[in-house]
Structure 1
Amino acid sequence: MQINDFRLFLEVAEMGSFTKVAAQRHTVQSHISRQISELEKSCGGHLFRRTGRGVVLTEFGQHVEQRVRTWIKDSEELFADIQQTSKVPMGEVKIGMLPSAAHPLMTQVFQRLHAQYPKIRLNVREGQGGELDALLDTGSVDIAILFRYQKPSGPDETLLSTANTYLVSSPGLPLTQADSVDFKRLEGVPLVLPRPPSHWRSILDETARSKGFNLSAVIEADSLRVQKEIIASNPHLYALLGPFSVDEELRSGSLQAAKVVHPELKRYVTLAHPKHGHFTQASRIVSKLIKETVQGWNGQLNIPKQV
């Protein structure tokens, strides 16, 4: 049994699905299932119980999970302490982030990191709000870039950027031709929306109800890519998105957008660290590079047009 076997075990426990883990690791479900079966044989008992929707931990698996989390945390902190004595910063930094923040931000950060600190490795995984919070709480990532609906006030999070909300469509639709659109005008508009019970969907629905109507969801999808492809290929549909997720399409003219006002629905992009955990030298360096990159882009997650 190797430590990476138990890292896989924890990943399956967090996601509750061999298929999701396989997709995350760019492999096939049968490979993950086989690795877990071999680990179960080595442990001497079943770690997971198969259900119709995935897998859940057995009672034995829950016991193993508690022991393994402590072991891995202690092992990583010991290794980090050893690395801290090196004159050359090194080690792996695990980052969880929103899909809309992945590029070009991490591309730029990696280029600077590779040039200045070649022995620091990045391990980047994408996720949505609740998932990223869970990864932080369990120590599965060292840093997370995520959306908040209020400005951060604690020492564990730093405000990176503020994002307005835009009504987005294919070119030529009248509602998105102006610079802004009143939220009240979304009544009856066919929308592509994120699936409930996401926090963002709840805010959109509650805002509409406060205006005396319900949003018209023609299709629901969490994936930003799916939402953008649907509105691009269906010129009568709209979506409510942030500016970073459609910047490339707006520049190319394949989509158009108007800022939603009355109210302005702002989201705050923050850089978060685990409340409890070891903040390594490598993590501090990557965190600093992320902040410097966003500041250099005038508080945006994309390269400003004039740069």
Structure 2
Amino acid sequence: MDLKQLKALVTIAETANMTRAAEVLNIVQPALSRQISMLEDEVGAILFERGRQGMILNQEGKTFLEYARRILHEVEKAKAEVRPSSGTVSGIVNVGLLPSTSDLLSSMLLRRLQQQYPEIRITITAGYAGHLQEWLEVGEIDVALLYAAKLSSSLNVQPLVQEKLWFVSLPGNGLRPDKPVTLNRMADKPIILPSRPHGLRVLVDRVGRENNLQLHVVAETNSMSVQKRLVLDGHGYTILPSIAIAEELALGHLEAAPLTDAGLSRTIVLARSRERNMTMSVKCVMQTLSECIRTGIENGGWAHAQWIAKN
């Protein structure tokens, strides 16, 4: 098995056409077919269904495709790390951001990296904490912001931010920043929550169980934008950190009050896998991301958050 065979697999899957894949790889189609046949022999399984519509990945092929992409990506990262660059830091770094933080941090992070480390290339992935942790553990991303709750021992983490969660609604329901509320008081309201394994949902469920509360959950979603949209359209209330609703609060589209229940605050950590070598490019991105977060808090972009890192 070699990289040419893996590239052939990925290219055919992406183009969905043998002729087009051969053009992209700049080889003749019979040679491309031989590479796939050799790969299937090596794997010991048929990866494509061959028919009138061409070559379509079967279930075995779809499974192998994920690994092939990961291997090729790791090779590209390794080449970027070891390529001579006159002493400058270079490499490809995959960064995972929580949806509530991506608007504030993504542009700032890219701008600072371009200024300080122009040879580093980043890929930014926004996702819920549970998904980011899974991707971090299997090596699909290099560094991520996560909630501190229930983190795997395979991760190296640095706590950065502490912030309360807020109860959110349309204007006119009496929610104010200077008048905190409890989850018990709001338990009978129609609530829209993130779906599991979102870290925020884990916190809310745990506090509900500890206080014997039966929350009136009317909808769940794996999208923060959908979560806010449903509230804006009058379907109920929700629970979010203040950073996720800063713009809507400023425009008067939503109102909110902090929740005072013990446990209804989130600690955000900067995490990476203990299993993987920390390259200089990853180290530089982690440091820059921490600086961006601190700047966001200090300039008011991340209101009601507390910087708790020790450095």
> Given the two structures, how large is their TM-score scaled by the length of structure 1?
0.74
Q: After TM superposition, give the deviation of residue 191 of structure 1 in Å.
A: 0.7
Tell me the equivalent position of 1:171: 171
Q: 3-state DSSP class of the match of 1:100? A: helix
Matched with 1:266 is 265
Distance 1:84 1:106 in 2: 28
Q: Give the equivalent residue in structure 1 for 2:29.
A: none
Does the CA contact (< 8 Å) of 1:95 and 1:142 recur in 2?
Answer: yes
Partners of 2:117 and 2:286 lie apart in 1 by: 13
Aligned residue in 2 for 1:209: 209
In 1, distance between residues paired with 2:105 and 2:202?
28
Q: Which residue of 1 is the match for residue 275 of structure 2?
A: 276
The alpha-carbon deviation at position 67 of structure 1 amounts to 8.2
Identical pairs, percent: 25
- Structure 1 position 227 matched with structure 2 position 224: no
SS of 1:174's partner is coil
Q: Once the two structures are superposed, what CA deviation does each residue of 1:31-76 show, in whole Å capped at 9, x if it has no partner?
A: 747279x799823354489xxxxx9953x87678778866764x35
Separation (CA, whole Å) in 1 of partners of 2:62 and 2:233: 46
After TM superposition, the score normalised by the length of structure 2 is: 0.74
In the alignment, the residues of structure 1 paired with residue 153 and residue 128 of structure 2 have an alpha-carbon distance, to the nearest angstrom, of 21
Contact 1:84/1:281 (8 A) holds in 2: no
SS of the equivalent of 1:180 reads: coil
Question: Is the contact made by 2:168 and 2:254 (CA closer than 8 Å) also made in structure 1?
Answer: yes
Aligned 8 A contact 2:168 2:256 in 1: yes
Match of 1:137 in 2: 137
Structure 1 position 203, deviation (Å)? 3.3
Show the counterpart of 1:82. 82
Structure 2: how far apart are the matches of 1:284 and 1:3?
A: 33
71 and 182 in structure 1: CA distance in 2 versus 1, 3 angstrom threshold: closer
Stretch of structure 1 that moved more, 111-120 or 197-206: 197-206
Deviation at 1:166, TM superposition (A): 0.4
The runs of 5 or more residues in structure 1 that have no matched partner are 10-29, 50-54
CA 1:77–1:255 in structure 2 vs 1: closer, same or farther (change >3 Å)?
closer
Q: Which of these two proteins has the greater Rg computed from alpha carbons?
A: 2
CA, structure 1 residues 277+77, in 2 after alignment: closer, same or farther (shift >3 Å)? Answer: farther
The 1-side partners of 2:137 and 2:180 are apart by 38
How has the CA–CA distance of structure 1 residues 117 and 232 changed in structure 2, closer, same or farther, with 3 Å as cutoff? same
Distance 1:178 1:131, change over 3 A: same
Partners of 1:208 and 1:239 lie apart in 2 by 15
Q: Are residues 46 and 7 of structure 1, via their aligned partners in 2, closer, same or farther at CA, if it must alter by over 3 Å?
A: closer
Q: What is aligned with 2:161?
A: 161
CA, structure 1 residues 83+243, in 2 after alignment: closer, same or farther (shift >3 Å)?
farther
For the pair 1:110 / 2:110, whether they are aligned, the reply is yes
Name 2:180's counterpart in structure 1. Answer: 180
Q: Distance in 1 between matches of 2:233 and 2:69?
A: 48
The 1:157–1:212 alpha-carbon spacing in structure 2 relative to 1, beyond 3 Å, is closer
* Partner in structure 2 of residue 191 of structure 1: 191
> 2: CA distance between counterparts of 1:286 and 1:87?
17
Aligned residue-pair number: 277
CA change 1:263–1:118 in 2 (3 A) is: same
The separation in 1 between residues aligned to 2:13 and 2:5, in whole angstroms, is: 18
Distance in 2, Cα, partners of 1:301 & 1:149: 26
Encode CA deviations 1:240-278: one digit per residue, 9 max, x unaligned.
111111111122221111000133511111111121123
Aligned-partner SS, 1:227: helix
RMSD: 3.8
Change (3 A) 1:68 1:225: closer
**1:171 and 1:68, CA in 2 relative to 1: closer, same or farther beyond 3 A?**
closer
Unaligned segments of structure 2, at least 5 residues:
22-31, 50-56, 305-311
What residue in structure 1 maps to residue 247 of structure 2? 248
Counterpart residue number, 1:119: 119
Paired AA for residue 226 in structure 1: V
Q: What letter is aligned with 2:273?
A: P
The 3 A distance-change label for structure 1 pair 125 and 68 is closer
Distance in 2, Cα, partners of 1:84 & 1:100: 37
Find the aligned partners of 1:88 and 1:119 in 2 and give their Cα distance.
Answer: 7
Distance 1:166 1:292 in 2: 25
